[in-house]
Amino acid sequence: MTNTTPAVAASIESLRAAVSGAVALPGEPGYELATPWNVAVPVRPHAVVEVESADDVAAAVRYAADHGLKVAVQRTGHGAVPLGDDVLLVHTGRLTECAIDPDARTARLGAGLVWQDVIDAATPHGLAPLAGSSTTVGVAGFLTGGGIGPLVRTYGLSSDYVRAFDIVTGNGEVLHVTPEEHAELFWGLRGGKATLGIVTAVEIELLPVTHFYGGALYFDGSDAAAVAHAWLDWCAELPEHSTTSIAFLQLPPLPQVPAPLAGRLTFAVRFASLADPAEAEALLGRLRAVATPILDGIGTLPFAAIAAVHADPVDPMPTHEYSALTNELTHEAIDALLSVAGPGSHSPQTVVEVRQLGGALAREPRHRSAFCHRDAQFAVMVAGVLAPPTAENVVGHARTIDRALAPWTTGRHLPNFAASADPATIARAYDDDTAHWLSALADEHDSNGVLRVGQVVRRDR
pLDDT at 98 over 80: yes
* Selection from 226, 219, 220 nearest residue 298 by Cα: 219
Interval 270-295: pLDDT, tens = 999 999 999 999 999 999 999 999 99
* Rounded Cα gap, residues 139 and 285, in angstroms: 35
Does 52 share its domain with 87?
Answer: yes
Rg of the chain's alpha carbons, rounded to an integer?
Answer: 22
Percentage of the chain with pLDDT > 90? 95
**Contact in structure between 309 and 270 (CB atoms under 8 Å):** yes
* Rounded Cα gap, residues 13 and 55, in angstroms: 17
pLDDT of residue 7: 64
Residues written for the chain: 461
Q: Which of 163, 185, 208 is the last residue of a domain?
A: 208
* Rounded Cα gap, residues 303 and 293, in angstroms: 24
Global confidence as pTM? 0.95
pLDDT at 42 over 70: yes
* Selection from 386, 460, 452, 394 nearest residue 421 by Cα: 452
Look up the CATH number of the domain holding residue 107: 3.30.465.10
- 65 within domain boundaries: yes
pLDDT of residue 4: 60
Residue 56 sits in which domain range? Answer: 6-91
DSSP 85-129: TTEEEEE-TT---EEEETTTTEEEEETT-BHHHHHHHHGGGT-B-
β-strand partners of 187:
none
Does 299 share its domain with 221?
Answer: yes
Residue 1 — very low, low, confident or very high, per pLDDT cuts 50/70/90?
A: very low
Q: Which of 189, 208, 227 is the last residue of a domain?
A: 208
* Rounded Cα gap, residues 176 and 185, in angstroms: 10
- 243 within domain boundaries: yes
Interval 316-356: pLDDT, tens = 999 999 999 999 999 999 999 999 999 999 999 999 999 99
- 419 within domain boundaries: no
Tell me what the pLDDT averaged over the chain comes to. 96
Which residues fall within 8 angstroms of residue 422, CB to CB, at 6 or more apart? none
pLDDT of residue 188: 98
Interval 437-447: pLDDT, tens = 999 999 999 99
Phi, psi (deg, nearest 5) at residue 317 = -160, 160
